[in-house]
Structure 1
Amino acid sequence: MKKPKKKLVIGVGAVAVVAAGAIAVLGNPGKEGETLPKVEVVEAVTGDVQQTVEASGTVVSEEEKTYFSPANAKVDEVSFKEGETVKAGTKLVEFNMKDLEREEKKAELNVKSGKLDMQNTLNKSDKAVKKQKDAQGNVASLEQQVAAQKNYVASLKSQLAQVTADAQAQAAAEAARKAEEARKAQEKKQQEIQRQYEEAVRIYESETLPAYQNRLNELNSAANQALTVYNQAENTYQMAFTAWSADQSPENTEALSQAEADRSNAQVEYQNAQAVYEDYKTQMPPAPLLSDFTGASDLVTDGTGSDFSDTPSGDISGGTVSVDTSGIEIALEQASSDLAELQSELASQEAIAEADPNAVTKEEKEKMKITNNLSELEKMSAKELVESAKKGVTADFNGVISKVTVVEGSTVTQGTELFTLQNTDKVDVDVNISKYDYDKIQENQKAEITLAGKKYEGTVTSVSHIATQNEKGASLISARVRIDDPDENVFLGVDAKVTIQADKAEDVLVLPAEVVNIGKQGSFCYVLEDGVIAKKNIETGLSSDDYIEVTEGIEEGDTVIRDIGTLQEGMPAEAMASGDAAVTGEGA
């Protein structure tokens, strides 16, 4: 059985071939004069065997890049069409810069506005917190002052009562000579006056002054509450303004208008409440004076026709005894007024100390920082987009435009696909290898590529390890062959023929492919040994279409029969004389 041919090439190496003539009729080799059959033979010689693998494929680019818009902008110029070749560094798309520069300016203003808003809010927060801390400190001091003032008022009252009592006692002693009735009446009158005065003082201290103070506290609380509402409205307005500055949408515009109206209303409410408080503060009721009650009762005479109606207010006379209490009374009135003011101030400071100062929280401060950082990033992004758009879109390598999606004059957004460029300096041929040949293919093997009648040198760059099937169900292995030096005559997408230079055996023993047979036991050939046909089992290596490497079984110089025809092993034969039809061949 003949071994099937393989697409292989023999290297330059001489193989002597003796052309065969007609095979003579067999005769008895022992009889003299009879002619032996002649056989065409070749000599086993040393040569080179080059394996090749033939394949066809499609020319493709090794590198493809799709370009996208770097910014939101109008396309001013598109200087290419699909299928055109372009050089590396060529500006292919130019953008209109007007809108981008406006967005960059807007981003800068947003950053500045955000920083000012944050600083303003923090200043107000710090001021409110300081005011509260000051009020908390003032409360303790005012409480001490109020307590001291109460003690002072109480001492004045006690002093006045003591002076009055002493004067009354002196007056009673001086008037002892008057009739008992007159003395008793006068004493009763004085007691009534004292009772009425003390009752008036009691009512003033327990009802009138507390009622005034409670009302003053209510008005002060209302003013503080109105201030809190105003501060909250101010904060809401600042946040609405920040949102509107970042996005002037209808919703943000409406929210800003509402926040501004609420702030104005809250400011008016606060001013009105403060005015009512200040007005009422001036209306503190005066403390009662003893002099207001000296003529409250009917006067009685001493029985001599004289009465006490001419006794001055604050004077208690017994003829020779007189005392003036006006100084103590004035001091008591002033002390009471001072006490009321201290109590009012204490209530005001307590309200401030207990009220929520609307201080900026740690989370709110961090949020404002994040907002400002985002504005900074937007500013940087806008600036980068402007710089990127100024450069336009430039070809990164020599190539051909394979897809165009951009239209001149259109407005594109950042990330919009513009076009696709395929590299013409890095060009490959995608080929499919038969399952009979894939084991011969390796990376870095050299190849010859025929494209439109022109030949190019190439290199195997990759071999797939996953087989695919063609339309007939045959298994194929894909490989990629790079064209080492492509030129302008290489077109993407066209068919190309590829001859891959596979393994090569140099300076080895070779035989023509047709003399090697394959049987159940392996490869064999026939040789002439001492004029007798003999069968030789051989081991083979690389093979081409014409020659096969022999690694074992015969030696260089052995005479190998091309075809024994009807002859058999063990028969005598003789080689055809070399002079009859001898040729010497070289493997291509």
Structure 2
Amino acid sequence: MAMYKKRVALFVALNISVGSLVGCSSADAVPTTSASVAVETQNVMNGEIELSESFVATITPKETTYVFSSMAGIVDNIYVEEGDFVKKGDKLFVLQNEAHQFSLDQAQASYQQAEASRQQAMLMSNLEIESTVATYDQILLAKNQAIVQAENTITSAYASYDQLVAAKNQAVGSGFDMQLLELEAQIETLKMNIATARLQLNHAHNNLKEVEGNVRDAYDDYITADADFLIEDEKLDAAFEVYEDAQIKLATAQILAEKYAALQSSITTFAAIEVKEADKYTSRDGIPDYVVEMIDDIITDMRRNNISGIAMSDLMDLTREVNQAQLDYAEAQADYTQAKTEQLQTEAIFEQWEDGYKDAEIDIDHAQELTYETIAGLETNLKILEEIYDVTKSGATSEIIEVYDKQIAVAQLGIMQAEQALDMVKDSYDEQLRQVQIALSGTQSSAPLIENVYSSQLNMANVAIAQANYVLGELIVASPTNGRVEKIYIEENNPVGNSNAACVIADYSQMEVTFNVSTAVKNTLKTGNNVVVMYGDAQYLGTISEIGAEVVGQTSLFEIKALIDVEYGEIPSGVRAIAYTTTHKANDTITIPYEAVHYERGESFVYVVEEGVARKRIVETGLFNNSTIVITSGLDIDDEIVTTWSSQLRDGAIIRGHEVEEEILLDETTIIKEETRTEIEENTEILLKDDNIKSIEDGE
């Protein structure tokens, strides 16, 4: 349409010019005609067309990272400046670590103390095992000795029996002097056995007194350990309460600090003052009532929780209080565990000694009973021998035989009692050994329990060490990405919080282009569509990465984002550029040259060549650009159409299709001055270059 109207304008201009030049001639100028019109033609075929639009865009880095400190603290060193390029992992800044290093030292000291306590407890456990084993060995030795003694008593009883039988036989048929000597020897042997039995009984009583003393000492140790345990238990409860209160106090202070920070960001009056100073302001000072109430609530909560301040330095002090309370609690736990272990150990030792004393007391009672019975039997035998001796010395043979018979009967009873005593000795010592074995088993089984208790304590100490090391590691803030340091908000030796950004890093390796479009354009776009961005004299290619789902603010426009690849530093952040992208596209549809369409009385038409004759055909058009237009109806594939303009082209004209340059034919008799022709050509060129004509032609 545009080219058509331009040609019309050119044709009119030329005719006006020619008419003015030849107006005095006797005859009008008439274009030369021929039998056929020379134009260009082509067959209709399917094609595609794209329409692109330009948008004002803003270019920013794709990734802009706000770096925060993971904890509050005082900035010790800053290793970068604004404008520096950093790589992922490069150190940005570090916080002061004195308090946290102290926490690590305390945690390591707690671990070493727990390890020393564990070694001491295991040493005591091993000593107790060794002591129990030694007690077992002593009882076993005493058992063997008692068995030997009992067996000796049996042997002695049999010997006495044999001697009595031999003495009786001798008394009946042997000499008087020899008999008296044998009786005297037997009497002396019995007296010696009686003295030995009494001596052994006294020795057993002395051993029992020694065990009783050990029981009293073990009981005193247990009472002392139990008292120490109760004290450490109270200390542990108190330390936990202090630690818990410190945590609650810090958490409350942080919440209040965040509330006040929000007020500071919205109320410029509070920007540089602490909350206690802000409490002096009222609605008379232009502060909204709800803000005054929030300040009052913050102050009330601070007083209720005994919080002196919520500035960064105050939060640091509270953090140190929490760390110290945690260390005190860990130390109290270590002392509590050690005291509990000592209480259990001393209690076990006391119970072992007490059980041993009771068993020994029973054993001594049995032994005393047996010893008294043995002594009584020996004394009876001694009395009988003395009677025999007296009778023998007097020479009464019948009486001697009677006495010997009595003595032999007593000796037989002594043999039976001695054998019973041997069985009792074995049973008694076997029971003692069983009790000691039970005690040994309990001591051995308690060793793993002690190991587990201290292993748990060591694990807690290891956790504290790991936590302290983690905190120390968090004091060093490294760059999380590659990029350029855009802004630094912190200063050395000044506090930094974990709620405000410390610095900003932008990744310029991939830039993001942002522009806004209408709903109609937005519905034609897809992610992945190509985008051309013009910045200065440079052109950058990219693709659409994000299409906004909601309008931006009150603009009724949708935000579109695209990514372009650039080198570092080529495009600064925040600059304006022009973005071009395809907004409309038609594929596999009939397209013809734009110049082939003509317009008349609101209708569009083309000339279709039918058997060499131009036929005017009404068509409907779609998308178009400067060179191509879509035909939605009126044409079929392979239709031959006229694609160039001619002044002689009209419905019914004979067409001579060929490829020639467009020209204007004038009458051969018409004479045009060279300068006038040059002026016409210049005016024509101006008309053809005027972009406003196309706007008027398109009805804009």
The answer, yes or no, to whether TM exceeds 0.5 is yes
Task: For 1:91-130, list aligned pairs within 5 A.
Answer: 92-122=92-122, 124-125=124-125
Match of 1:429 in 2: 513
Contact 2:547–2:558 (CA<8 Å) still a contact in 1?
A: no
- Partner Cα distance (1:393, 1:348) in 2: 70
Q: What is the match of residue 153 of structure 2? A: 153
Contact 1:129-1:357 at 8 Å conserved across structures = yes
8 Å contact from structure 1 (residues 528, 573) kept in 2: no
SS across alignment from 2:606: strand
Structure 2 residue 566 is matched with structure 1 residue 484? yes
The answer for the alignment partner of 1:75 in structure 2 is 75
Secondary structure of the residue that 1:349 maps to in structure 2? helix
SS for the counterpart of 1:498 is: strand
| Structure 2 residue corresponding to 1:500, chosen from 570, 578, 581 | 581
One-letter amino acid of the counterpart of residue 482, structure 2: F
Taking the aligned partners of 1:132 and 1:561, their CA distance within structure 2 comes to 128
Q: What is the aligned partner in structure 1 of residue 606 from structure 2?
A: 526
CA shift, 1:162, in A, is: 6.0
Q: Does 1:445 align with 2:549?
A: no
Query: Corresponding residue for 2:627?
Result: 547
Which one-letter code corresponds to 1:357 in the other structure? Answer: T
**Which residue matches 2:308?**
none
Does structure 1 conserve the Cα–Cα contact (< 8 Å) formed by 2:595 and 2:643? no
Alignment of 1:157-172 (within 5 A): 157-160=157-160, 163=163
Root-mean-square deviation (Å): 7.0
CA gap of 1:381–1:344, structure 2 versus 1, over 3 A, is same
Instruction: Kindly indicate whether the alpha-carbon contact (under 8 Å) linking 1:528 and 1:560 is maintained by their aligned counterparts in 2.
Output: no
- Which residue of the other structure, out of 640, 643, 647, is the alignment partner of 1:558? 643
Contact 2:606 2:618 in 1 (8 A): yes
Cα separation, 2, equivalents of 1:253 and 1:115: 10
**Which stretch shifts more, 102-111 or 338-347?**
338-347
Matched, 1:511 2:597: no
Q: Which has the higher strand share?
A: 1
Equivalent-residue separation in structure 1 for 2:103 and 2:116 (angstroms): 20
| 1:51 match | 51
Q: Residue 561 of structure 2: SS of its match in structure 1? A: strand
3-state SS of 2:86 partner: coil
- Counterpart check, 1:349 vs 2:433: yes
What TM-score does the superposition give when structure 2 sets the normalisation length? Answer: 0.49
User: What is the match of residue 7 of structure 2?
Assistant: 18
Distance 1:416 1:226 in 2: 62
Q: Could you tell me how far 1:353 is from its partner in structure 2?
A: 0.8
Q: Residue in 1 aligned with 2:445?
A: 359
Correspondence for 1:318: 392
Determine if contact 2:225/2:343 at 8 Å carries over to the other structure.
Answer: no
| 1:460 equivalenced with 2:507 (yes/no) | no
Shift of 1:365: 4.7
Matched position secondary structure for 2:443: coil
In 1, the alpha carbon distance for the partners of 2:393 and 2:471 equals 107
Shift of 1:76: 1.8
Residues 256 and 558 (structure 1), Cα distance of their counterparts in 2 relative to 1, 3 Å cut: closer
Which residue is equivalent to 1:399? 484
- Say if 1:456 and 1:483, in contact at 8 Å, map to a contact too: no
Q: Is the 8 A contact 1:57 1:497 kept in 2?
A: yes
1:401-457 Cα deviation digits (max 9, x unpaired): 5685898533768x997444333453312234445445465637241245xxx4653
Give the stretch that moved more between structures: 400-409 or 59-68.
400-409
Judging by fraction of residues, say which structure has more helix: 2
Assess, with a 3 A threshold, how the Cα gap between structure 1 residues 473 and 517 changes in structure 2: closer, same or farther: farther
Q: 1: distance between equivalents of 2:645 and 2:386?
A: 170
Q: Partners in 2 of 1:110 and 1:517 — Cα distance? A: 99
Uncovered stretches (5+) of structure 1, i.e. residues with no partner: 6-13, 25-32, 175-193, 298-310
Hey, what's the Cα distance between the residues in 1 that align with 2:222 and 2:558? 81
Is contact 1:442–1:460 with CA below 8 Å preserved after alignment? no
Change over 3 Å in CA distance of 1:361–1:114 after alignment to 2: same
* 1:323-377 Cα deviation digits (max 9, x unpaired): 999xx9xx99x99999999887655433221222152476765675565466556
Q: Which amino acid aligns with 2:528?
A: E
Matches within 5 A, 1:18-417: 18-20=7-9, 21-22=11-12, 51-69=51-69, 74-77=74-77, 85-88=83-86, 92-122=92-122, 124-125=124-125, 149-160=149-160, 163=163, 247-249=327-329, 252=333, 255=336, 259=340, 262=343, 287=372, 288=375, 315-319=389-393, 348-355=432-439, 356-357=442-443, 359-360=445-446, 365=451, 369=455, 372=458, 375-376=461-462, 379=465, 382-383=468-469, 386=472, 389=475, 393-394=478-479, 396-401=481-486, 404=489, 408-410=493-495
Residues 456 and 486, structure 1, Cα contact 8 Å, conserved in 2: no
Cα distance, 1:427–1:475 mapped onto 2, change above 3 Å: closer
Tell me the amino acid that sits aligned with residue 594 of structure 2. Answer: L
1:114, CA displacement in angstroms? 4.5
* 2:438 maps to amino acid: E
**Matched residues in 1 for 2:342 and 2:122: separation?**
23
Name structure 2 gaps, 5 residues minimum: 16-27, 175-186, 240-323, 632-636, 656-661, 667-679, 692-700
Counterpart contact for 2:604–2:619, Cα < 8 Å: yes
Contact 1:58 1:496 in 2 (8 A): yes
In the alignment, the residues of structure 2 paired with residue 131 and residue 120 of structure 1 have an alpha-carbon distance, to the nearest angstrom, of 16
Change (3 A) 1:395 1:159: closer
Q: Is the 8 A contact 1:458 1:481 kept in 2?
A: no
Shift of 1:318: 1.5
Cα distance, 1:534 vs. partner? 0.9
Partner of 1:306: none
Q: Deviations over 1:240-284 (max 9, x none)?
A: 9xx999943285377369649858986996899699899989998
8 Å contact kept, 1:44–1:511: no
> Aligned partners of 1:417, 1:337: CA distance in 2, in Å?
92
**Alpha-carbon contact 2:549-2:558 (below 8 Å) kept:** yes
Q: Is the 8 A contact 1:427 1:483 kept in 2?
A: yes
Structure 1 Cα separation of the partners of residues 49 and 514 of structure 2: 27
> What's the secondary structure of 2:153's corresponding residue?
helix
Distance 1:252 1:345 in 2: 44
